[in-house]
Amino acid sequence: MTLYERLNKETESARRELYTVPQLMDGLSGNISRETYIAYLTEAYHHVRHTVRFMMAMGTRIPEDQKWLHDAISEYIEEEKGHEEWILNDVQAAGGDKEKARKATPNLETQVLVAYNYDYIARKNPIGFLGMVFMLESTSTQIANNGADSIKAKLGLPQTAFTYLYSHGALDIEHLKFFEQLVNKVTDPDDQAAIIEVAQNAFRLFANVMRAIPHEKAIKHAA
């Protein structure tokens, strides 16, 4: 079994948990308010703006025998630059205030997701961050386009309010193929275990990020 296959298998439970979060379930069917969508974008901004920084931190801490990863990290950095500004433009197009979103204090759950990754990179194993990459890109391919289509139809928002979701739905299909080839080159058992650990925890932490987004229907689901 390849590492990529192990990642899919060993994160199955955490992925299922994420996909039962009411905010995500309702988003996929378009049954959320404009305010909930803007709240989702705001939290997305506050973790996506760290993606390039995560990768830069990872790159500076990679051991000498893993320098082959630098080219892949450089490519990811180029691909991810500026995505946080796409999100803020979506906020504005959806009728929100992009500068208010930029300056907002993210929910604690979002702060924990960000802090966990910085801590893991600095204190445990920088290569483990590939687990976070797996969570983000595999989730995007599953939900981005479907969610955008449904929300746009139900709320009557313009295409320009979904730049982030649509771009990631398309981009991350290619990214995931690139990721699969990359991660399967990681042969050290400790590095493999770190990637799987971070992936499992990232799915759980992202589920908490989604649960914390204000959403009236979430109360009905819980009841």
Q: Where are the domains of the chain?
A: 3-222
Q: How far apart are the first and last CA of the chain?
A: 41
CA-CA-CA-CA torsion sign (22, 6, 166, 39): positive
Question: What pTM value is reported for the model?
Answer: 0.92
The H or E element that residue 204 is part of is helix 189-211
Other CB atoms within a 10 A radius of the CB of residue 115 amount to: 13
How many angstroms separate the CA atoms of 119 and 112, rounded? 10
pLDDT tens by residue, 115-156 = 999 999 999 999 999 999 999 888 876 677 788 889 999 999
Of 136, 146, 158, which is closest to residue 34 (Cα–Cα)? Answer: 158
pLDDT tens by residue, 49-99 = 999 999 999 999 998 888 889 888 998 898 888 889 999 999 999 999 999
Q: Cβ(145)–Cβ(171) under 8 Å?
A: no
Better-scored residue on pLDDT, 174 or 73: 73
Per DSSP, the residues of 123-169 read II-GGGGHHHHHHHHHHHHHHHHHHHHHHHHHHT--GGGGHHHHHHH
Q: Cβ(206)–Cβ(18) under 8 Å?
A: yes
Spell out where the chain has E strands. Answer: none
pLDDT at 218: 63
Q: Cβ(181)–Cβ(160) under 8 Å?
A: no
Q: Cβ(104)–Cβ(39) under 8 Å?
A: no
Q: Which position has the token pair 């730049």?
A: 163
Domain 3-222 CATH (choose: 3.30.950.10, 2.60.40.10, 1.20.910.10, 3.90.1200.10): 1.20.910.10
Percentage of the chain beyond pLDDT 70 is 93
